[in-house]
Structure 1
Amino acid sequence: MAKILVVTDGTYGYRVGKTINSFGKKNKFIGIYKINKPNDLIVDEIEFPEELLEKIKDADILLLYTQHPDNTYYLCYEAKKLNKNKELRKFDAICPEEMCLLDENDVEDLINKYPKLKEFLDEFGTPKVKIYIKDNKVENVEVLRSSICGSTLFMAKLMRGMEVNDIEEFAKKSAMLIQRYPCVAGKIKLFRKDCKKQKALNIQKEAILKGLTFI
């Protein structure tokens, strides 16, 4: 079982525990730790509380919702140093644009090299669902893999009983349910076709279209 520790220096990451505790069977949430975000752009050295370092020793996977780059760098450095006999000692950081984009394609051959990473991706990352349709209605939704923020689980509950007359429209309407969660992806759109929130919506929509099963 992979033990997951979340470290944040801002407002993100607080839903992870609820998602893992409600859905995880191969993963265990061991806590979230808030650290300060430095005011300076560049920091020569950062010292972390002993309590956090002890937690890092116990973790198999660190999910870093750190906005300051030096926080991220020094946390990875400490993790490698403190976990000499664990997989976390060997890991290079994996940096998906969004957590719901993290899947087997993103990590490539690392999934076969690191069993704890495989356990994580068996349950969390890019969403996978099975939507069972009977008489043009959603009879049941099975979540095979959830986005770590919990949006997929939220969407699945609200989809049950929905009418399915037009497949494309149904998928679009279902994916838009995550906007009510609300999805925490950013809305800023600079030098890109879609903002991150729109991209997250499209990821859920693709999962719906792939998961349609008529019974």
Structure 2
Amino acid sequence: MLNVVVVTDGPYGERAYENIKEKFDTEFVELEKPESMFMDEIDIPLYELNKIKEANILITYTQHPDLTLDIVDLVNKYVDHIIVAAWSGEGFKNQLESYENVTCPYIMCELEENGNEVFDSFTSKIGKPKVDITLENGKIAIIDVIRSSPCGSTKFVSDYLSEKYFGSDDLENVPIEAGLKLQHYPCRAAKMRLFTDEECKKEMASGLHRDAFEEALNK
């Protein structure tokens, strides 16, 4: 079974851990945020480091850039794929993605298959929202979440729409309301990086959910 490790040095990552562990064998590793800004003074405890090395998929929510880079440098040869959820600046992103098995998404709910068997196994269930809608006599009967955003917002939106539109033939407004309802979910992606446009990220997440419901209805 796919082994996922979520690592953090601060307030982010726990919600993703709670959602991802429903699909995969997942561990949550908390590291102390380094006080120093110099990499040679950063020390990762051996126990935590060995646990991280056992991951097939590693997701880092570490905010200290040198700690993030240190983790990637130390474990990239051991894990199949690393997803860096918290990063700042295109230069740092390019530096991280110089490792072939590292991905730095703009937002976590845009993750899709990339041809790597292990990564695709993960993103078949976690990443860019994907839902399936069953109609009976032209009315909504069931909404299933096929692929959830890591934070759980897809289930949040799906549960709301399942209750509101059960037995309804008002299909036209479902995708629009999916995007609007996403705005009510406390998305924290923008807060993980400096100099980012939080509204832009929320609009992007809303659009991804709107498109997911529209695609499901078109099927």
Output aligned runs, 1:41-120, within 5 Å.
41-80=37-76, 83=78, 87=80, 91-104=100-113, 107=114, 111=115, 114-120=116-122
190-199 or 31-40, which moves further after superposition? 190-199
Contact 1:5-1:63 at 8 Å conserved across structures: yes
Contact 1:3-1:28 at 8 Å conserved across structures: yes
The aligned residue for residue 3 of structure 1 is 3
Q: What displacement does 1:143 show?
A: 1.4
User: CA 1:72/1:178 → structure 2, altered by over 3 Å: closer, same or farther?
Assistant: same
Between the aligned partners of 2:50 and 2:188, the Cα distance in structure 1 is: 29
User: CA 1:135/1:179 → structure 2, altered by over 3 Å: closer, same or farther?
Assistant: farther
User: CA 1:120/1:193 → structure 2, altered by over 3 Å: closer, same or farther?
Assistant: closer
Q: What displacement does 1:98 show?
A: 0.7
Write the deviation string for residues 97-137 of structure 1: whole angstroms up to 9, x where unpaired: 01101113xx4xxx2xx322121011111011112344564
User: CA 1:175/1:6 → structure 2, altered by over 3 Å: closer, same or farther?
Assistant: same
Q: 1:184 aligns with which of 188, 191, 195?
A: 188
Output aligned runs, 1:19-38, within 5 Å.
19-22=19-22, 24=23, 27-29=24-26, 31-38=27-34
User: CA 1:64/1:174 → structure 2, altered by over 3 Å: closer, same or farther?
Assistant: same
User: CA 1:98/1:87 → structure 2, altered by over 3 Å: closer, same or farther?
Assistant: same
Write the deviation string for residues 160-186 of structure 1: whole angstroms up to 9, x where unpaired: 14145362x321212332333323233
Gaps (5+ residues) in structure 1? none
Contact 1:123-1:144 at 8 Å conserved across structures: yes
Q: What displacement does 1:49 show?
A: 1.1
Between the aligned partners of 1:37 and 1:213, the Cα distance in structure 2 is: 47
Between the aligned partners of 1:17 and 1:123, the Cα distance in structure 2 is: 14
Q: 2:217 aligns with which of 191, 205, 212?
A: 212
Question: 2:183 aligns to what SS in structure 1?
Answer: helix
User: CA 1:189/1:140 → structure 2, altered by over 3 Å: closer, same or farther?
Assistant: farther
Identity across aligned pairs (percent)? 33
Between the aligned partners of 1:185 and 1:164, the Cα distance in structure 2 is: 34
RMSD of equivalent CA atoms: 2.9
Amino acid at match of 1:94: T
Gaps (5+ residues) in structure 2? 83-98
Q: What displacement does 1:206 show?
A: 0.9
Q: What displacement does 1:10 show?
A: 1.9
Contact 1:129-1:143 at 8 Å conserved across structures: yes
Contact 2:80-2:101 at 8 Å conserved across structures: no
Write the deviation string for residues 59-90 of structure 1: whole angstroms up to 9, x where unpaired: 11110012221111111112135x2xx63598
Amino acid at match of 2:112: D
Q: 2:132 aligns with which of 130, 133, 136?
A: 130
Between the aligned partners of 1:102 and 1:152, the Cα distance in structure 2 is: 14
Please give the TM-score of this superposition, normalised by the length of structure 2: 0.78
Please give the TM-score of this superposition, normalised by the length of structure 1: 0.79
Write the deviation string for residues 138-168 of structure 1: whole angstroms up to 9, x where unpaired: 211121111111111222122114145362x
